[in-house]
Chain A
């Protein structure tokens, strides 16, 4: 039996979309297996400790997101925790904050924590909003992660850099950028755009993160979460495939393609040195 400490980071700043529920799910799945578990919330006025085993960072609005990024950059608590081997789950704005940079509410680029190799810009089109399905990459599938479902709701677009891998490929929805990749993972830092909360929707993801903390896990009666998982896999994609969502996706894909072409063009047209 292990004693596990879970930190909910700035739920007052990054708690808009129910993502604090991820901490509840993690704690219950540990307790039901006989582990001791303590969940502590650290608000904007508190010092975030670097000694916890698991950190949950949620999604939030623009202004509080910048504030959270500034505070975490100053204290470096998450940096030290990650160096100590802590597991971090970062959702949406949380993912953006943990990346190398993101565009703040004033339109200027803010520095992120650099714990994930990714950069986030303002998207070219409307916000990506709706049910999302992600087929996990082979590494994660081999570790037991099943197809993920969730609800994305973001205006930013995220590009991964070397050393950071996606959670998987999007089969319904937009994901990081253009309907291809979703999420960002480096070491034990797991970033995703999926709300739901994501661990309530995907018990195999919860257990994947927990194995990183306590090792092998005893099975649980997951009939309730599995019933939801099946129902969302069945109905989520058709709910997403409304006219508006299709237009959203088309605009994003077109925007990203144009940008790629423009970059390629710019590279080709660079004048030769005299």
Chain B
């Protein structure tokens, strides 16, 4: 009954153009049955993905890989809705008993874990993000550690061994598979989460605390090679040694790391790795990110970066082209109301490029670029900013709500000039 009510409301919400409907549907499910998460998760294999960055991409890769590996459809989040309501809506949307691959907000993980009882928990990374809400990264790490401690005996945690905060949290779990997924942004991990002593980082992702025994655990999965040669290598605990050539359509080292993490989860579940890799290669777009959209002669590649760690990954993607870069910054609730984090991003690296600052907080960004010595144009309107950047190819790097606003007003790839979402609400 709860599920029927929720799905009906979701359809109504979508029909009314209010959004994907996943959140309102989830509210309905939980209103009728407050224990709906536990009831909906019962009897299925649940795989969860959490972390500050890469949740949505990794969840999509894992959902595709799990489908390919098991030959069954899985249920997964709609539009990245990753709080309790979004999880309820996702579980209610598919057949009972189908495996579930769900991304969970890092601050909510501890709340939903006892109800969802995952077989696999993927922990990607932790860094500063939305500081006005999650005041301290360390508190999130502590909550993860508490949650890992309470995991059931059969559960497997797949954790990024290169991130000291993640490793410390995961070490409390009954069983862990360690992935060398890299850590581009280290500034939130220089103080040991266990003893507050200094953490020193060595070559190739190695790290150890100088004050206690905490150190990077031995790896079960790691990356070798670059670009087309990039391979994920499985160690003996994952049936290796075995090399998997990735050949992803998605750009950047961070996505190779996400894919290696997914592969570790697949192998730890006892599934074959080959079909999973083939399925991951087909993913070329994630909730509008990495896709190209055209406006006023500008062919924009849309990228998400919502914190310094995300930017460390994005520089890796936009570095090669040398083309124009449009940066769109908002500071709404989902972005965090304090855009001070812009000062932790080395925007100096954009010097010499054609740069356009846009979004609701374009003036904060403009001052940051000013002091970074980066000449730039300021154009508050998103579409106008694209026009200023063009013509030709441009990278558009937006934070969370700015990206959603862009997706709402830009014609989606493969859909001609038809807009989506808010942009066309009046026309429907």
Contact = CB atoms under 8 A, between A and B. Distances in A.
A195 B344 CA distance: 13
Contacts of A55: none
Interface string B183-209: 000011011000010100000000000
A44 interface: yes
Interface string B147-187: 00000000000000000000000000000000000000001
Interface string A19-58: 1110011001000000000000001110000000000000
Contacts of A153: 131-132, 135, 338
Contact of B191 (A67, A127, A195): A67
B87 to A, nearest CB: 25
A140 interface: no
Contact of B131 (A17, A20, A130): A17
Contacts of A25: 371
Given A20-B343, A228-B364, A12 B338 contact: no
A26 B191 CA distance: 27
Nearest to A25: B371
B137 interface: yes
Given A63-B138, A131-B337, A12 B190 contact: yes
Contacts of B372: 24
Interface in B361-417: 363-364, 366-368, 370-373
A130 B132 CA distance: 8
Interface string A117-154: 00000000001011100000000000000000001010
Interface residues of B, number: 30
Contact of A18 (B188, B190, B343): B343
Interface in A42-80: 43-45, 61-64, 66-67
> Which of B198, B340, B364, B370 is the most central at the interface, judged by chain A CB atoms within 10 Å of its CB?
B340
Contacts of A166: none
B198 A45 contact: yes
A196 interface: yes
A24 B371 contact: yes
B338 A17 contact: yes
Interface in A165-196: 195-196
Contact of B337 (A12, A15, A151, A228): A151
Contact of A239 (B337, B341, B363): B337
A24 B187 contact: no
> Which of B338, B342, B372, B373 is the most central at the interface, judged by chain A CB atoms within 10 Å of its CB?
B338
A130 B131 CA distance: 11
Contacts of A21: 340, 343-344, 368, 371
> Which of B337, B367, B372 is the most central at the interface, judged by chain A CB atoms within 10 Å of its CB?
B367
A220 to B, nearest CB: 11
Contacts of B191: 12-13, 44, 63-64, 67
Contact of B343 (A13, A197, A227): A197
B33 interface: no
A225 interface: yes
B370 A43 contact: no
B136 interface: yes
B366 A129 contact: no
Contacts of A228: 363-364, 366-367
Contacts of A155: 135
A122 to B, nearest CB: 14
Interface residues of A, number: 40
A62 B196 CA distance: 10
Contacts of A11: 187
A62 B136 CA distance: 9
Interface string B343-362: 11000000000000000000
A238 interface: no
Nearest to B186: A12
A89 interface: no
A224 interface: yes
Contacts of A201: 367
B343 A44 contact: no
A95 interface: no
Nearest to A31: B373
Contacts of B337: 129-131, 151, 239
Given A12-B190, A24-B343, A151-B340, A61 B136 contact: yes
A63 B196 contact: yes
Contacts of A18: 340-344
B366 A224 contact: yes
Contacts of B136: 16, 61-62
A110 to B, nearest CB: 14
B138 A129 contact: no
B307 to A, nearest CB: 11
A210 interface: no
Given A15-B187, A24-B372, A227-B363, 19 more contacts: A13-B190, A16-B131, A17-B131, A20-B343, A24-B371, A28-B371, A28-B373, A45-B198, A45-B210, A63-B138, A63-B191, A67-B196, A130-B337, A155-B135, A197-B343, A224-B363, A224-B370, A225-B370, A228-B363
Interface of A: 11-13, 15-21, 24-25, 28, 43-45, 61-64, 66-67, 127, 129-131, 151, 153, 155, 195-197, 200-201, 224-225, 227-228, 231, 239
Interface of B: 128, 131-132, 135-138, 187-188, 190-191, 196, 198, 210, 337-338, 340-344, 363-364, 366-368, 370-373
10 contacts: A12-B187, A12-B198, A44-B191, A44-B198, A62-B136, A64-B191, A131-B337, A153-B135, A153-B338, A197-B343
